Amino acid sequence: MKTNIPDLSQMASEKVVSQNIKLNGQRILFDTKVLLMPTSIEKQVSDE
Amino acid sequence: MALAIIKYKGPQKDALLFHADIGTSQYFKYVLGERIIKLKVGKRKYIKVLGGEKKSSRLFQLKKGKARLLFGMFPLAIPKKELTENYKYIQLYSFSSGQKTAPTISKILRLPVYGRKNNLSEFITGLSTTIPKHTEIMEHIDIKNKKHCPEEPAMSKVMFWNAIIGVLPGLLKQAAPILGGLLGSLGGKSNNNSDATKSDEITAKVVAVLEALANAKNGAAQTSGQQSIRPYSSAYSLEPDTLIRLKPILQKILSPEAIEAVGDDAQKLFLAIKDAVQNTEHQSISNQGVSKGKALEPEMIIEGSSNYSKAKVAPALLAALPLIEKALDPKTIEAIGNQPVKLFKAIGDAVLKMDEQEIKHLEAINPGVDSANDIAKLMAGMSISSAYNEELIKFKLLTDLNLDFVNTKTVSFKNKDRVLYCKESQIIIPFKITTNQGNTLNKTLPKSVIQIVIRHTKTMKIVFRKTIKLVDVSINAIVSEAFLTPQETKSIPLHTELKMEVAYIWKSKSNANIGIFKNHYIHFMDTYLYDRIGEKKEKPIPLNDSKLHRKLWHKVWEGGYTKGNRWHLDMDVKYFYTLNVKSKSLSRLETKVQVTQDNAHEQEELPTRRKIRAKVKSGFEWSLEAINSLMQMQGLQTLSPKMLNVLKHSNIIEDFKLVARQHVTLKGRNGDTGTLWVYPEMAMHTVHVSKKGSVDVYGQVAHLEPVEITLLKPESIHLIGTKSE
């Protein structure tokens, strides 16, 4: 099974759906690419 | 059986390594080609071979004995010089004889990179996006699940600044008479020496920054009819006169280098002002023992203090600090009413992150009184208490004298000129004592003490303190007895901004402690110093293989909804990346979902289309080891253990606090399920590190040598929504 997911972020969601690309057995509906921005984080995360 | 199988294994120094298997065949060759073409070999049968521009290797023979030993399997290294930008694919041919009989061809394999020249370090950047490889490299990196998602502070720096702008007029109108009395003589008189001129210039810059910020705020208030922070009434807008009052305060308490280090950091500036007020009242005011000027009595100052209306400040502060409204229950807000003292305590709680115990302590020392005197007391009480504080020598501040550091050197890092000490050296902090007019005093102090207190600038926690007892010190010369040994500085944190207060204290004629002090903002380093993450070097690499990069993929949400024929889920997603330098593992952080709207609960009948709106917050924690392993996996130059250690002991985590915000929608029918996945794109960045150069006799680093390394850093994320079928 193909596990390499192409970059679909430039495609309209209708076109993405029509590509019928599967991820973990489910059909991909959208791929949205979001730029990361610097932020302030005050709380430390703790180990579970 | 004759075979022809080729698999990519990874990069080597001068070649790309493949695994080849030709079964019982003894001869083979490989072909590099530009594109794939189909050859018809039967009625409906085709084979794929390479076409366009292509190059075939010579025919190789696997020696008989060796072929049997290896069962036809062997490593195949293709020299990088053969891999030009025109060749995108490779195919293996095997033959049973030297006459190329019984040919067998392999599946065509896409070369790890194409379109680049023969530079291994360059073209390997694209490897992971083309074919899976080296999956075993990240095997040793654990992936954990962690509770709690990071939280951004409720008050951003901008909001903080606005809050301070809001509180300053009231605060300074309360405290200014005290400060003015204390420092009034400083403002109008110039100091002849160059340090004073430099100090003037720098403080003028700081004041200019303050004014610019104040103007920007006022401008915004004029142009925008609506803003999240309500503009203050004109009575409480920042007046230049008020700001100018900061100048002598800054000069009195901070060295020119420290003022430079503070820059436009509102929080640091606020703490510096707080210290000024704290020292003023707490240590009182005195000029006794040195000159004949009349000491100002606190009572006199208070009587001549503010004429501002407290009633207007309270609502203004509340408007400026929505955090206070959130943090305090309505009864507390009601109790605060229009008392600035209590409000300031609330600000202290929110901004300075005081703990409950300290607030109780403050309540105990401030039983609801409300005057300038109590403001100062309150501020004095706001210092972070510790056992160390109890041991500090208290003294009355002499207003007519100045303590100035001499022979101070700065080096540029983190975009500023800073005082940097070498931990392995003996540190000497020479200073001179002058009058406000810049003159020295012909006086010998039979007994005196130097008190050095080093605090963390953010928490104000004391990290080091020392007193040095001196006898017969002539204060008309430079005092060079303030020192720290390498043994003493061992426990002081490296690569962290620290506030060093040097106080010089002696006894007055009435046997009271009197003295002067000044603050430096300093750093300590050993051999290397992390500076900053610099420019992006390459195109980002999408880690888009859900199997190969599985550890870096995160299933943020999975689910579905009933109670309706269809469901429609609108998600406001906030996704964080952080770095944990203390861990070697990767960690997926818990997803928190807060449903803000659900029409299934808004009406008695079930909706045809169920609409849900939710806030989704999740994240991922990186480790430097994992990033290093990823770089190895990508065939990139990895961090050496030495550099890994430098970064681990730096504040690089500040540059790895990242967030992505996005609105996404998932839809489905009753019974459908959906998922939301996240994977990152990483970009190579230059990391600027400095190596210790020369160190002067005072232990100050006088020169830094720039060192550049590279590191992968998350650039963006892909949010992928899926639905069951």
Q: What per-residue confidence (pLDDT) applies to B232?
A: 31
- Name residues whose C-beta falls within 8 Å of residue B534's C-beta, 6 or more positions apart in sequence: B685, B686, B687, B688, B708
| Per-residue pLDDT tens over the stretch B313-325 | 233 333 333 333 3
* Chain-chain contact of A43 with B719 (C-beta, under 8 angstroms): no
The closest CB to that of B722, out of A7, A26, A35, belongs to: A26
- The residue ranges of DSSP E strands in B57-107, in sequence order, are 60-61, 73-79, 89-95, 104-105
Highest mean pLDDT among B51-55, B80-84, B133-137, B486-490: B486-490
pLDDT digits (tens, 9 = 90+) for B195-233: 455 545 545 554 554 554 444 444 444 433 333 333 333
Residues in a beta bridge with B545? A4
Q: CB–CB of A33 and B667 under 8 A? A: no
Closest residue of chain B to A9, computed from CA coordinates: B718
Q: Do B545 and A34 touch (CB under 8 A)?
A: no
Residue B299: CB atoms within 10 Å: 9
Question: Chain A closest CA to B602's CA: distance in Å?
Answer: 28
Q: What is the CATH number of domain B2-133?
A: 2.60.40
Contacts of B227 (CB under 8 A, 6+ apart): B220, B221
Q: Chain A: give the shortest CA distance to residue B185, in Å.
A: 41
Cβ of A26 and B675 within 8 Å?
yes
Residue of B nearest to A41 (CA): B152
Q: Would you give the distance in Å from CA B637 to the centre of its chain?
A: 24
What distance in Å separates residue B142's CA from the closest CA in chain A?
13
**Chain B residue numbers touching A32 (CB-CB < 8 A):** 662, 664, 718-720
Q: How many Cβ atoms are within 10 Å of B219's Cβ, its own excluded? A: 10
Chain B residue numbers with beta carbons less than 8 Å from the beta carbon of A21 are none
- Which of residues B565 and B184 earns the better pLDDT score? B565
Q: Provide the chain B residues 75-104 that lie in CB contact (below 8 A) with chain A.
A: none
From chain B, the residues in CB contact with A16 under 8 A are: none
Residue of A nearest to B545 (CA): A4
Tell me which residue has tokens 């102090």.
B445
Phi/psi of residue B201, nearest 5 degrees: -60, -45
What was the pLDDT predicted at B271? Answer: 62
A:1-48 residues touching chain B, CB 8 A cutoff? 3-7, 9, 23-43, 45-48
- The pLDDT-based confidence of B364 (bands split at 50, 70, 90) is very low
Contacts of B659 in chain A (CB under 8 A): 36-39
Residue with tokens 């008189």: B189
DSSP E strands in B98-182: the ranges are 104-105, 109-110, 143-147
Chain A environment of B723 (Cβ under 8 Å): 26-27, 29
Q: Is B718 on the interface with A (CB under 8 A)?
A: yes
User: Across the interface, which of A26, A32, A37 has its CB nearest the CB of B723?
Assistant: A26
The C-alpha atoms of residue B5 and residue B292 are separated, in whole angstroms, by 97
Range from B299-308, B432-441, B629-638 carrying the lowest mean pLDDT: B299-308
Of the candidates B629, B644, B649, the one whose C-alpha atom is nearest the C-alpha of residue B709 is B644
Give B606-609 contacts, CB < 8 A, sequence gap 24+. B606/B563, B606/B564, B607/B563, B607/B564, B608/B564, B608/B565, B608/B566, B609/B564, B609/B565, B609/B566, B609/B567, B609/B568
Neighbours of B585 (CB within 10 A): 17
Task: Give the closest residue to B482 by CA, choosing from B699, B211, B714.
Answer: B699
Give the range among B545-549, B657-661, B705-709 with minimum mean pLDDT: B545-549
pLDDT of B664: 95
pLDDT category at B270 given cuts 50, 70, 90 is: low
Residues of chain A with Cβ-Cβ distance to B582 below 8 Å are none
Check if B2-133 and B391-526 are the same fold.
Answer: yes
Interchain contact B722–A (C-beta under 8 A): yes
CA distance B81 to B95: 26
> Of the candidates B437, B438, B443, which has an alpha carbon nearest to the alpha carbon of residue B289?
B443
Contacts with B718 from chain A: Cβ below 8 Å: 7, 9, 31-34
Report whether pLDDT(B610) > 50: yes
In a 13 Å sphere around the CA of B712, the CA atoms on its Cβ side amount to 28
The secondary structure element, H or E, covering residue B486 is helix B486-489
β partners of residue B658: A38, B577
Contact yes or no for B674 and A43 at CB 8 A: no
The residue with greater pLDDT, B366 or B511, is B511
Are B148 and A37 a contacting pair at CB < 8 A? no
Confidence (pLDDT) at B324: 36
B391-526 is classed CATH 3.40.50.800: no
Query: What phi, psi does B493 have (nearest 5°)?
Result: -65, 145
On whether the pTM is more than 0.90, the answer is no
Residues 148-167 of B with CB under 8 A from A: 148-153, 156-157
Nearest to B351 by CA among B238, B294, B465, B268: B268
Helix (H, G, I), strand (E, B), or coil: what is residue B649?
coil
Residues near B150 by Cβ (< 8 Å), separated by ≥ 6? A41, A42, A43, A45, B576, B578, B589, B619, B657
Residues B473, B477, B481, CA angle at the centre, nearest 5°?
55
Nearest to A41 among B132, B147, B657 (CB): B657
β strands within B65-222, DSSP E? 73-79, 89-95, 104-105, 109-110, 143-147
Extents of the domains making up chain B? 2-133, 157-383, 391-526, 530-723
Q: Does the pLDDT value for residue B108 go beyond 70?
A: yes
Contacts of B661 in chain A (CB under 8 A): 34, 37
Interface with chain B: mutation pick from A41, A43, A46, A47, highest number of B CBs within 10 Å: A41
Nearest to B725 among A7, A27, A48 (CB): A27
Phi, psi of B206 (to 5 degrees): -60, -45
Chain A closest-CA separation from residue B562 CA (Å) = 19
pLDDT at B140 over 80: no
User: Residue B488: is its pLDDT beyond 80?
Assistant: yes
Out of A4, A9, A43, name the one closest to residue B718 (CB).
A9
Q: Give all strands (DSSP E) within B24-106, no chain letters.
A: 27-40, 46-56, 60-61, 73-79, 89-95, 104-105
For chain A, say whether B545 makes contact (Cβ under 8 Å).
Answer: yes
The yes-or-no verdict on residue B626 having pLDDT over 90 is yes
What is the reported pLDDT for B253? 65
| Collapsed DSSP state (helix, strand, coil) of residue B334 | helix
B484 within 8 A of B522, measured Cβ to Cβ: no
pLDDT at B704: 95
pLDDT of B564 strictly over 50:
yes
Q: B681: distance to nearest CA of chain A, Å? A: 9
Nearest-angstrom CA–CA distance, B723 and A20: 11
Contact B715 A36 (CB under 8 A): yes
The single-letter DSSP state of residue B595 is: E
- How deeply is B319 buried, as exposed, middle or buried, from its count of CB atoms within 10 A (0-12, 13-18, 19+)? middle
Q: Of the candidates B304, B303, B328, which has an alpha carbon nearest to the alpha carbon of residue B314? A: B328
Mean pLDDT lowest among B121-130, B498-507, B656-665:
B121-130
Instruction: Report percent pLDDT > 70 for chain B.
Output: 63
For chain A, say whether B559 makes contact (Cβ under 8 Å): no
Instruction: Render pLDDT for A8-46 as a digit per residue (tens, 0 to 9).
Output: 999 998 899 998 899 988 999 999 999 999 988 765 555
| Contact yes or no for B660 and A41 at CB 8 A | no
Plot region of B520 (φ>0 → left; ψ -120 to 50 → alpha; else → beta): beta
- Spatial contact of B567 and B450, defined as CB atoms under 8 Å apart: no
Neighbours of B406 (CB within 10 A): 13
B660 touches A: beta carbon within 8 Å = yes
Find the closest chain A residue to B720 by CA distance: A31
pLDDT surpassing 50 at residue B601: yes
**Shortest Cα–Cα distance, B54 to chain A (Å):** 27
Contact (CB, 8 A) for B295 and B283: no
Please compute the mean of the pLDDT values over residues B524-546 and round it to a whole number. 91
Q: How far apart are CA B637 and CA B634, in angstroms?
A: 9
Q: In angstroms, what separates the C-alpha of B72 from chain A's closest C-alpha?
A: 27
Residue A11: list chain B partners with CB under 8 A: none
Q: What is the pLDDT of residue B258?
A: 73
Per-residue model confidence as pLDDT tens digits over B447-468: 999 999 998 887 778 899 999 9
pLDDT tens sequence across B74-101: 888 888 888 887 788 899 999 888 888 8
Q: Search chain B and give the residue with CA nearest A23.
A: B722
Mean pLDDT of chain B: 72
| pLDDT at residue B234 in the model | 29
Asked whether the beta carbons of residue B129 and residue A4 sit closer than 8 angstroms, the reply is yes
SS (H, E, C) B490-548: CCCCCCCCEEEEEEEEEECCCCCEEEEEEEEEEEEECCEEEEEEEEECCCCEECCECCC
Which residues, including other chains, have CB under 8 Å from residue A33's CB and lie 6 or more apart? Answer: A7, A9, B681, B716, B717, B718, B719
pLDDT tens digits for range B157-189: 444 445 555 555 444 444 444 344 433 333 334
Structural contact between residues B563 and B569, judged by C-beta atoms closer than 8 angstroms? no
- Is residue A47 within 8 Å of residue B144, measured between CB atoms? yes
pLDDT tens by residue, B652-680: 998 999 999 999 999 999 889 999 999 99
| Residues B64 and B22 sit within 8 Å (Cβ to Cβ) | no
- Provide the 3-class DSSP secondary structure of residue B170: helix
- pLDDT number for residue B93: 92
* Residue B295 to residue B508: CA distance in whole angstroms: 13
Among A33, A39, A42, the residue with its CB nearest the CB of B716 is A33
Is residue B525 pLDDT above 80, yes or no? yes
ipTM: 0.94
- Separation in Å, CA B54 to CA B37, B90, B551, B597: 12, 10, 38, 61
What is the C-alpha separation between B361 and B345, in angstroms, rounded? Answer: 11
**In contact, B598 and B612? CB cutoff 8 Å:** yes
3-state SS class at B335: helix
Mean pLDDT lowest among A39-43, B99-103, B299-303, B642-646: B299-303
